[in-house]
A and B are shown apart, each in its own frame.
Chain A
Amino acid sequence: MTRRPASRAVPLLLGAALVIGAGVVTAVTGPEASLLDPFTVGAADDGTATARTLAAEVTEVTRTERVTVAGSEWEAEGDWLVIELAVSAPTTEEDAAIGVASLLVDGRLFQASERPPATLVGTDLRVGTDTVGMVAFELPADLRSGTAELRLSGRYPTPELDDVIVFPIDLADAATASAVEIEEPRLGAP
């Protein structure tokens, strides 16, 4: 039995359509890392941003050239940005803490300094009661203006498919002080 030319062309056309379809799917699929990107959460009208494991509010932003720590002899000079936050846990106190606090400026990512003996990073958070504390960033001297992003996430260092709180921080608008005393995190309203 001889096959008609039209029916012989069907497999070829189907094959070509599948190859083109595969190419289109590959082209429109994002990079693999983007499949695991975190969800960014911004502040609501009252200034509080509520993510899956954190609820946070920025209460004060200060630039200074000298930081000290209450009740400690430690001090450091440099270009510091000290951010005071009021943070709590929205639903559970189990594993509730800021694990990573970072500042994104012009594509450069700075982690909160681990040098000051007092920091809000890693402090156990409470449900329904604020913990007020500070995080300090040591920045290069040339970063004096522009908008930075303060990014806060939970215990896991890589917040894949998890919430990350993002606050815009205007570096030019930050208050300046000759020195800032970093206090141990405390319970209560800011």
Chain B
Amino acid sequence: MTPWWRRQRVALIALLVAAVAVVGVHVWFDVLPAATDDTTVVEARDATAEVAGQSLSLDSARWDEFEAPTGSRTLSIRIESGGGPDATMCGQFTLAEAEGDRVWTNARSVLDVPFEAGESYCQEESGPYAILVVFLLPDDVEGPFVLEVPGDGEVARFPVDP
């Protein structure tokens, strides 16, 4: 008498093919599209990186330039941009702890920062211009940080150690 699995081999093979097909369809249509991340990371060299069609240079990082509530202080970061014919707008500047998971965004809108002190984000400018981003950090944070500037499918990363 032939063993059970031999008698049922057609059904078993069909079951195996169906199981592989189910997993394959799920991975192809659900898992792979979600995992695709096309963002290219551009690490700054000599505090300069190319992003959004322009060259950005980290100029300075300064504590306590603007008034902050008790228990907090400000970190002002100035960036020089060369502008250029292909310059486009960029996304929101973020400051992340290099060793930690906290992330801050530009807090100029809630601080008393003069409008003319610099742009808040990159501009479509052909000539050079200055950017000023101000972060509101709690007193216990010392750095180092990583400043990220997203733009045009890329993200530039500047190490910041004020």
Contacts and interface: CB of A to CB of B under 8 A. Distances in A.
A91 B94 CA distance: 12
B113 to A, nearest CB: 13
Contacts of B140: 128
Contact of A128 (B92, B101, B105, B141): B141
B128 interface: no
Contacts of A94: 92, 94, 103, 105
Contact of B136 (A91, A92, A129): A129
Interface stretch (B39-47, B65-73, B76-84): B65-73
A93 interface: yes
B110 interface: yes
Interface string B2-15: 00000000000000
B101 to A, nearest CB: 5
Given A94-B92, A187-B110, A128 B102 contact: yes
Contact of A127 (B68, B92, B102): B102
A126 B137 CA distance: 8
Interface string A115-158: 00000000010111100000000000000000000000000000
Interface string A178-190: 0000000001110
Contact of A129 (B71, B101, B105): B71
B63 interface: no
Nearest to A1: B1
B103 A128 contact: no
A36 B102 CA distance: 27
Nearest to A129: B72
Given A91-B101, A94-B92, A128 B109 contact: no
B80 to A, nearest CB: 25
Contact of B104 (A93, A187, A189): A93
Interface of B: 68-72, 92, 94, 101-105, 107, 109-110, 136-138, 140-141
